[in-house]
A and B are shown apart, each in its own frame.
Chain A
Amino acid sequence: MSSDSDILKARQNGREMARELNFSSGDSTLVATAISELARNIMQYAGQGEIVIAAAEEGPKRGIVIVAHDDGPGIPDISEALQDGYSTSGGLGLGLPGVKRLMDEFEIVSEENAGTTVRVKKWLR
């Protein structure tokens, strides 16, 4: 993805995938919102990157996994980025704490000057 309409496409693909995996309409909205947020971070901080959306399985649990990856500048202080209100670009923040609250599982790996990978999961209720 490399433009703002790609953010729109990513979240709409994600919503469709969530619906196909039997998520409720409400939970599909949560998934679409999280994707939108992660996709925007890629655009804003790295300029380009990719979002992979797939079915998730863990024992009896079924759900959806979203991996957002970029080769951008990375996040120097992850724990700071996970605090509400933190932003290096002077906005509302990266939205990562919000994404964490929308989803069930949240993992982030980031290396300065090497890129960032965020992996989030939501399980069917």
Chain B
Amino acid sequence: MRSRANVAVQVYEVRREGLHPREKIMTIRIHHLAMYLIVSILSPLADGDFLDLRNKLNGQVQASRSQAVVMDVTGLDVMDSFACRALSDISRMMKARGTETAIIGIHPEIEESMERFGLKLEHATVATNLEEGLAVLGRRIATKRHASKYLPPRGQDSGEF
């Protein structure tokens, strides 16, 4: 971290009427840290929350020109087919604009349920913790930079008119 000015934190909270304390407030924290966007899902999400998150991230990545996103899913209570598809969709969207995604914080019990269910996160790298997530993304970004140095500029290698 070069300076404090590089770090911005946004917290989104939505209050809900619910029976249990942990479902009353939906919390997502988004940190802008240099070239990374760190998205922490700190509570269970309803389906609509995933869609809101997708729209929010779309705008944020565009505005901040982040090169990589870490999604910490520690707060999720389950990973069902909807959650899995929503996270995969977000990662695919990021990839389409050249932004890599790492997903961290999958609880071992949730990992087991995904295996049984037959669910797989796509378009993202799954890492065990923030450190590993950042390391994987850092390597990806470095490889991409290296590759783009040696590739001919777009449109000049096709031989088409």
Hey, which bits of chain A sit against chain B, CB under 8 A?
Answer: 4-5, 7-9, 11-13, 15-16, 25-26, 29-30, 32-33, 36-37, 40, 84, 91-93, 95, 97-99, 101-102
Contact = CB atoms under 8 A, between A and B. Distances in A.
Where chain A touches its partner, the secondary structure class is: helix
Contacts of A37: 80-81
Contacts of A84: 118
Given A7-B46, A30-B113, A101-B116, A12 B77 contact: yes
Interface residues of B, number: 27
Interface of B: 16, 18-20, 22-23, 44-48, 77-82, 84-85, 109-110, 112-113, 116-119
A113 B45 CA distance: 32
B77 A15 contact: yes
A40 B118 contact: no
A91 B119 CA distance: 13
Nearest to B110: A29
A7 B117 contact: no
A36 B78 contact: yes
B113 A16 contact: no
B19 A12 contact: yes
- 3 nearest A-B pairs in the assembled complex, by CB-CB distance: A98-B117, A4-B47, A36-B80
